[in-house]
Amino acid sequence: MDWFPLYNSIRIAAISTALIFFLGIFSAYYIARTPRVVKGVMDVILTLPLVLPPTVVGYLLLRVLGPKRPVGQWFLDLFGLKLTMTWWAGIFATAVVIFPLMYRTARGAFESFDETLAYSAKTLGLSNRYIFWRIRMPCCRQGILAGAVLSFARALGEYGATSMLCGYTPGRTATISTTVYQLWRTNDDGLAVRWVLVNLAISFVVLLAVNMLEKKHLSVPKKGGS
C-alpha cells in the first residue's frame, strides 16, 4: 500500500491551515469592527467559497492560476513555477475552500467577547496589542481552535477544487480523496475502503483531541473559586 496520498494530504492540509489561520483571525477581527454595511459586503465575499460547489471554486482558480492565465503565466515566466497540476497547487485550492470556516468561527468568537474587558484594560493604560494577544485571544481561543480544527479536517478531505487544480498523478499529486475516486473508477473497492477508513481514523483522532483539550480547559479551576 503506497502511503504517499496520506503524506501529501496531511502536508497540504497542514500548510493551507497554517496559511489561513492568522489570515482568518485578523480578517475576522478587523471586519467585525467595521460598519454594518461594510461587514455585510465583506461577509458575502469571504464566505462565498463555502457555498459554491468545490468544482466551481477549482474552475475559477484555474481561470486565474492556469499557465495561460495572467497570474499563472507571470509565475511561469518569472520563476519557472507552474501553479497547476503540482502538489502545492492543492494548497491554493484547499486554502480558498477552508478560509470561510476559519473566518466565520473566529468572527463569531470575537463577537461573543465581552468588550468591557477591553475597555477596562484600556483604562489601565494597556496597549491594543497587549489587549489583543493577552486578553482577547485567550478568551476567544476555544472558538478559534474549533475553526482551525474544522479547517484542517475539511482540507484533509477536500476533493473538488483539489482535483481540478492538481489532477491525479500517483506519487506526485495524489491525495486520499483523489485516490479513493481513482480506485473506485478502477473497481478496486478493497483498497478504496482502506483509504476511507484511514481518513475516518484521522478525522476521529483530530476531533477527539479537540474535545479533550476543551474538557481540560473547562476543568481548570478558577483562582479564588471555592
Q: Which amino acid is at 208?
A: L
- CA dihedral defined by 43, 44, 46, 51, rounded to 10 degrees? 120
d(CA 222, CA 151): 31
Which whole number is the average pLDDT over 123-132?
Answer: 87
Contact partners, residue 1, CB within 8 Å, separation at least 6: 191, 194
Mean pLDDT check: name the lowest of 67-76, 100-109, 205-214.
205-214
How many H-runs (helices) and E-runs (strands) does the chain carry?
A: 11, 0
CB hemisphere CA count around 109 (13 angstroms): 26
The three cell numbers locating residue 33: 469592527
Quote the DSSP letter at residue 67: T
Contact partners, residue 154, CB within 8 Å, separation at least 6: 94, 97, 98, 101
- Give the end-to-end CA distance of the chain in Å, rounded to a whole number: 56
d(CA 126, CA 140): 19
CB atoms within 10 A of CB 125: 7
Mean pLDDT check: name the lowest of 13-17, 25-29, 167-171, 213-217.
213-217
Buried b (16+ CB within 10 A) or exposed e, 180-197: bebbeeeeeeebbeebbe
pLDDT in tens, 199-224: 888 888 877 876 775 665 555 444 44
- Decide: 136 and 72 in contact? Cβ < 8 Å: no
| Residue 218: predicted pLDDT | 55
pTM: 0.84
Residue 171 has pLDDT above 50, yes or no: yes
Sorting pLDDT into bands at 50, 70 and 90, what band is 129? confident
Residue that is written with C-alpha cell 481561543 in the block: 141
Which stretch of DSSP H or E encloses residue 122? helix 115-123
- C-alpha closest to that of 25 among 143, 134, 154, 157: 143
Residue that is written with C-alpha cell 478559534 in the block: 144
Residue 23 has pLDDT above 90, yes or no: yes
